[in-house]
Amino acid sequence: MRLEGKKVIALVSDEFEDLELWYPVLRLKEEGAIVHFIGEKADHEYKGKYGVPAVSDYELKSVNIEEYDAVLVPGGWAPDKLRRYPEVLEMIRWFNERKKPIGQICHAGWVLISAGILEGRKVTSTPGIKDDMENAGAIWVNEAAVVDGHIVSSRRPPDLPIYVKAFADLLAQS
């Protein structure tokens, strides 16, 4: 239970990639972390791309991010929606400024791009947004998981075991 007492935000919006949300959440909980789903609305059911639901614990506007140790951004089409909320961008910047763990996989890089925190960072993502990542100033590499300081990034569902282990290791050290 090396993550006991650690609190993690898992951002959620419709059309998240089911595995990219649920696999990290379940693994972190298995290690003792408390994970809360945060979305535009509290107590709202968001549907994954393949129909798996996630019910938000809190709404973006009311969550006290100072209570949390890390944030996870899943992939799918949800990141394109999430990056439109000023609260999400402020949250990502807040975690970045404090060098608290930020996990992003697949299309989640769009959220970090919109938050303006990728300049000079070594990251990965789905190859489909490689150009977007590089245009935001990131150094993009084609690896299963990349850790650059407090940012952990990954490409797609087959990389989840490596990505989540790297994220949990970082969280345990923070």
Query: What's the CA gap between 107 and 76, in Å, rounded?
Result: 6
In terms of residues, how long is the chain? 174
Active site residue 36: no
102 forms bridges with which residues in the sheet? 71, 151
Active site residue 107: yes
Query: What's the CA gap between 138 and 72, in Å, rounded?
Result: 19
Which one of the listed residues 36, 44, 106, 150 is annotated catalytic? 106
Angle at 77 between CA 75 and CA 83, to 5 degrees: 85
Residues labelled as active-site residues: 106-107
